[in-house]
Structure formats: structure tokens, C-alpha cells
């Protein structure tokens, strides 16, 4: 009988959240605190457990909380590329690519679950953070486990936000099904399941945003856990040549107009129709 499957071909995945973690301060041994709260809750670790950890507590432990009277300045500092921006009655929303290679609103800068006058930045390297956590938790709990570090993101063409994986260690983040066949014998040509993102969202169902439970454990999906801790969630990001939606609509239109103007101006010069240029 395979893992996560019981008699009669039934498959089961369990997602558990547990209380007991204190407010995380800079320099905290996060692996020790998580393992301690996990065991204090009366839980025992199983081989193949996947710990789903919100990035906020990782950021706090790594000293990524900063004073920010102007949150917009912090967003600008974390931005590599502006994808889209929209004005609204409350200000301006910016969708950007940040230093971690993620495309998300406000560069991941967050003013929730932190004191007034401060904001939390994302971990500098979420995959490295996940690896450190996995090493510490494997050592303390004595089992082969995986770690996923999550953040809350919106999605194009969909309302609402979900948790997605921004860091991973010891978990196959993609299940590449290309070349396999479906139940009708058709070959799958493009299907790659974003396992780490699905696990991140499952964890958020029990963690929530204001429950004081920033860590969840997924059980019954141990086939995705591997010995190698170098399984970066960054492999899930689609930027650069594979990005089909590099700009927001308004930004793409503005860029096209500017390019068309420059092309027309250059053609006019070549035809000898003057050198005056207005924008």
C-alpha cells in the first residue's frame, strides 16, 4: 500500500496547525522554536512530513523588520522592475519584480503582524532560509522532512490571494508529468504540477492570517520529500524569456506608443521631413 493511500484505493492528505510559538524576535533559533512547539502540542514527527512556514516569522528571525514611516520607500528599495501600477482612491498599487525574483504586489513589503511604524521585508534568500530550517528540524525531530516558506500573493485574472511557495528545501517543487499518459492513454505534453505552491496553499487553510499559528504540517505527501535540500522554490518563477505577460496592459500600450513614435520620427528624418520633435 502506497503512502497516503489506504484500502480501497483511498488517498488522504492531512494538514495540521499547532499553537505555542512565541512572538519571533531577531536572532531567534526558529528551528528550535518550531520543533519545541510541535512536540509540546503532543505531536510526533513522521518521515515525509512537510513543514509549511509563513515567511513573516522567517523575516522576523532574520532581522528583516525595519522602521518605515513611508512604506512606499521600502517598496521602491525592494523593487527590481515595475510590471504594472494602478492609482486608486487609497493610493497606488504597484506590481513589481522584487529582489527575490518574485512578481507580486508591493514587492512583498508587509505592514501586517508587525508593530505600527514598521514593515516586514521578505527574507533575502527564502530558499537558503528553507534549507537552514530543514537542517535544524531534521536534526531535532530525527526524520526526513521538507520545508516550504510561503508568502501571500494575488494571481492574474483571479480575485483573492493565496499562499504560494517562495522558498523550499527537501521537497520536489515541480512534479513533471510530461511524457506520461492520462487514463485515456493520451501523452501529457506540458503538464507540470506546481507541488510546492499547492502545499503552501493547503497549509494556509489551517494556518490562517490571524490565528497565531504560522506553521502547518502536511502529511500523506511524503513522496515529494527528498534527501537533497537543494530544491529551490525559485525554480517556479517564470520571468525573463518565458514570461508572456512581462508588463501590465497600460504599461505595454505606453511602451508601444513610445516605440511607434520613435520609429515614425526616425523614418521622418530619413525622408528629410525636418528635425523638429515634440512629445
Q: Which of 140, 133, 130 is nearest to 43 (CA)?
A: 140
Predicted confidence (pLDDT) per residue in 47-70, tens digit:
999 999 999 999 999 999 998 878
pLDDT at residue 276, rounded to an integer:
55
The CATH code that applies to domain 11-63+122-237 is 3.30.1330.100
pLDDT at residue 271, rounded to an integer:
80
Q: Which of 83, 84, 126 is nearest to 240 (CA)?
A: 83
Q: Could you say which residues of the chain have pLDDT below 50?
A: 1-2, 5
Q: Which residues pair with 217 in a beta bridge?
A: 16, 51
pLDDT at residue 249, rounded to an integer:
78
Predicted confidence (pLDDT) per residue in 200-246, tens digit:
999 999 997 777 899 999 999 999 999 999 999 999 998 888 888 88
CB-based contacts of 68-75 (< 8 A; 24+ apart in sequence): 68/109, 68/111, 68/117, 68/118, 68/119, 69/117, 71/106, 71/109, 71/111, 71/119, 74/107, 74/109, 74/119, 74/121, 75/106, 75/107, 75/109
pLDDT at residue 2, rounded to an integer:
43
Separation of alpha carbons 171 and 221, rounded Å: 10
Residue 126's contacts (CB-CB under 8 Å, 6 or more residues apart) are 55, 58, 100, 149, 166, 167, 233, 234
Start-end of CATH 3.30.1330.100 domains in the chain: 11-63+122-237
Q: Across all residues in the chain, what is the average pLDDT?
A: 89
Amino acid at each position: 500500500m502506497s503512502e497516503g493511500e489506504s484500502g480501497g484505493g483511498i488517498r488522504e492528505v492531512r494538514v495540521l496547525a499547532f499553537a505555542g510559538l512565541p512572538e519571533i524576535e531577531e536572532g531567534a533559533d526558529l528551528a528550535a522554536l518550531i520543533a519545541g512547539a510541535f512536540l509540546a502540542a503532543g505531536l510526533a514527527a513522521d518521515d515525509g512530513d512537510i513543514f509549511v512556514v509563513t515567511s513573516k516569522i522567517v523575516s522576523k528571525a532574520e532581522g528583516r523588520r525595519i522602521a518605515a514611516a513611508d512604506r512606499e520607500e521600502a517598496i521602491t528599495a525592494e523593487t527590481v522592475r515595475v510590471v504594472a501600477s494602478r492609482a486608486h482612491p487609497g493610493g497606488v498599487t504597484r506590481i513589481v519584480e522584487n529582489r527575490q525574483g518574485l512578481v507580486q504586489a508591493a514587492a512583498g513589503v508587509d505592514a501586517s503582524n508587525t508593530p505600527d511604524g514598521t514593515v516586514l521585508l521578505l527574507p533575502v534568500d527564502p530558499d537558503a532560509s528553507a534549507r537552514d530550517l530543514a537542517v535544524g528540524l531534521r536534526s531535532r525531530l530525527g526524520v526526513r522532512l521538507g520545508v516550504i516558506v510561503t508568502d501571500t500573493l494575488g494571481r492574474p485574472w483571479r480575485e483573492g490571494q493565496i499562499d504560494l511557495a517562495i522558498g523550499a528545501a527537501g521537497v520536489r517543487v515541480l512534479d513533471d508529468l510530461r511524457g506520461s499518459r492520462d487514463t485515456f492513454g493520451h501523452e501529457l505534453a506540458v503538464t507540470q504540477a506546481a507541488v510546492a505552491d499547492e502545499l503552501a496553499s493547503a497549509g494556509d487553510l489551517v494556518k490562517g492570517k490571524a490565528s497565531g499559528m504560522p506553521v502547518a504540517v502536511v502529511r500523506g505527501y511524503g513522496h515529494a520529500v527528498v534527501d537533497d535540500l537543494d530544491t529551490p522554490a525559485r525554480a517556479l518563477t517564470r520571468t525573463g524569456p518565458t514570461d508572456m505577460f512581462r508588463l501590465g496592459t497600460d504599461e505595454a500600450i505606453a511602451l508601444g506608443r513610445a516605440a511607434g513614435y520613435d520609429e515614425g520620427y526616425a523614418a521622418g528624418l530619413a525622408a528629410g521631413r525636418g528635425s523638429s520633435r515634440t512629445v
